[in-house]
A and B are shown apart, each in its own frame.
Chain A
Amino acid sequence: MRYSALSLLGNAFSKNKNWKPAWRNPDPKPHYDVIIVGGGGHGLATAYYLSKVYGVRNVAVLEKGYLGSGNIGRNTTIIRSNYLLEGNNPFYEFSMKLWEGLEQDFNFNAMVSQRGVINLFHSDAQRDAYTRRGNAMRLHGVDAELLNRDQLREKLPFLDYENARFPIMGGLMQARGGTVRHDAVAWGFARGADQNGVDIIQNCEVTGIDRDGDQITGVQTTRGAIKCNKLAMAVAGSSSHVAKMIDMRLPIESHALQAFVSEGLKPFVDTVVTFGAGHFYVSQSDKGGLVFGGDIEGYNSYAQRGNLANVEHVAEAGMAMIPALSRVRILRSWGGIMDMSMDGSPIMDRTHLSNLYFNGGWCYGGFKATPASGYCFAHLLATDTPHETATAFRMDRFARGYLLDEKGVGAQANLH
């Protein structure tokens, strides 16, 4: 059923008794053309675009838990395309354009809110770096605006402008950035893919990968063996764990990242704001809770939870940026596992096995990339060539020396 004002009205008159589940809950078939491992945002988006744009419909998405149980439901819901590097910027802008039309496209309310993303700067050097970034964005046709202190004061009066150590001098704004309701992204893609005939199989963990020479023949799962022509990995967070099943080592470490939400407050923070002097970013949900986060924990982890030391650190950074937060109570915190790659950029490529495709290494920037990641991965799966916006995300770029290191910190995963 297509959701519309009319369907809402019709169901209201029938006392909401006739709503159907948004997607089926099928048993796995013995064989699929494409199996996508990982029913997170990227896996579901891949299935959606694969079935919709590329006409590949005999597809299964295998999810070890329930839909939305991984990073798609654990992030801070921010979307933006304010990237500096040539290889990254067009891809993230492609993603932003997909976000802008997503709800109409998959007929689901994902609450896409382009409320603006502002990155603060605190020194001349940082201003110059942001100017360069803003210019790079504009050269790629992305909107960017450098705000001085007075312009910023009008938008964000509550910041600590006179901070003795890190006075706020201005900010780089991308007005088209914003937030999206992350669960609805998973649900919208799942529903859209399901309507196109994709089997979404939950509680189905891949436990082994069957191969014959350099060909993948299928997977072993907790719900039996399933054969496939092509196998697509979209398991960021657990990429190394799954890759180990075929003795593949990756330029990736898994790290935990925490996020937090405060008690509900009256409208206070209108945009997404990021602190330039520390790692802290905050926005306010429609319910009123401040949604914020900071750095990864710094040690390898698959535990989906963090450490108290980082809770304290994030709270301190938040306080340094917005002193008014001092009396706000944190309601909940949670953790997700990030695929931290060795240059801070994702990997989307074919592999040394002829019908195995890899999508991962999203570090802690995977959410904003969800639609474009799905689109480009679907393109790769269907055509065996990278999408024009994703040509830099090659697996062999580390060996060739063509790193995509936005921060320039080198092969130290916990610093990206």
Chain B
Amino acid sequence: MSSLVKCPHCGLRPKEEFTVRGEVATPRPDAGAEEAVWFDHVYLRDNPRGEHREYWHHSGGCRRWLVLTRNTLTHETSEVVDASTLKTGGAA
């Protein structure tokens, strides 16, 4: 991966400004969901070799949660969007 991440709000910023949360997993289950559903959400990961969607927090910048689409083998980032677009389906 390059040492720069293209934040949709701040532009190209050094990687050190970001905190990585990890895989965009299954949506958070309801509080009353079955244990198996919670187990899956909390512990299991796809962890693919290749394209990977993951949460990054621009903790040292705009403090927005972002979703990166990144290749775990080549470290190339193909897309960065604001995490709020996951719900609205629109652009940041």
Contacts and interface: CB of A to CB of B under 8 A. Distances in A.
Q: Determine if chain A interacts with chain B.
A: yes
Interface of A: 238, 240-241, 244, 249-254, 298-303, 307-309, 342, 398-399, 411-414
A198 to B, nearest CB: 28
Which of B15, B56, B72 has most chain A Cβ within 10 Å? B72
Given A300-B72, A301-B75, A309-B3, A254 B43 contact: no
Nearest to B38: A399
A346 to B, nearest CB: 15
Nearest to B41: A411
Interface in B1-58: 1, 3, 14-16, 19-23, 35-36, 39-40, 42-49, 52, 54, 56
A309 B15 contact: yes
B43 A303 contact: no
B70 interface: yes
A393 B75 CA distance: 31
A298 B20 contact: yes
Size range of the chain B interface in the assembly: 20 to 34
A362 to B, nearest CB: 15
A233 to B, nearest CB: 14
7 A-B pairs closest in CB distance: A240-B47, A251-B43, A398-B43, A249-B44, A302-B49, A299-B20, A298-B20
Contacts, number: 77
Nearest to B52: A300
For the residues of B in contact with A, the DSSP-based class is mixed
B74 interface: yes
Contacts of A342: 42-43
Contacts of A252: 45, 47
Given A249-B40, A309-B16, 18 more contacts: A240-B47, A240-B48, A249-B44, A249-B45, A253-B23, A254-B47, A298-B20, A299-B1, A299-B70, A300-B22, A300-B54, A303-B72, A307-B3, A398-B42, A399-B35, A399-B39, A399-B43, A414-B22
A177 B27 CA distance: 44
A301 B72 contact: yes
A253 B15 contact: no
5 contacts: A240-B45, A253-B22, A254-B72, A307-B3, A309-B16
Contacts of B23: 253, 300
B86 interface: no
B73 interface: yes
B49 A238 contact: yes
A303 B3 contact: no
B25 to A, nearest CB: 10
Interface of B: 1, 3, 14-16, 19-23, 35-36, 39-40, 42-49, 52, 54, 56, 70, 72-75
A238 B36 CA distance: 25
Max chain A C-beta neighbours (<10 A), residue from B36, B42, B43, B47: B47
Nearest to A239: B47
Contacts of A301: 72, 75
Nearest to B75: A303
A411 B43 contact: yes
A244 to B, nearest CB: 7
B15 A303 contact: no
B18 to A, nearest CB: 9
A398 B39 CA distance: 8
Given A299-B70, A300-B23, A309 B44 contact: no
A253 B45 contact: yes
A285 to B, nearest CB: 29
A308 B3 contact: yes
Given A307-B1, A398-B39, A412 B22 contact: yes
A342 B19 CA distance: 18
Contacts of A250: 44-45, 47
A44 to B, nearest CB: 23
B47 A253 contact: yes
A399 B37 CA distance: 10
Contacts of B48: 240-241, 244
Given A238-B49, A302-B49, A307-B3, A251 B44 contact: yes
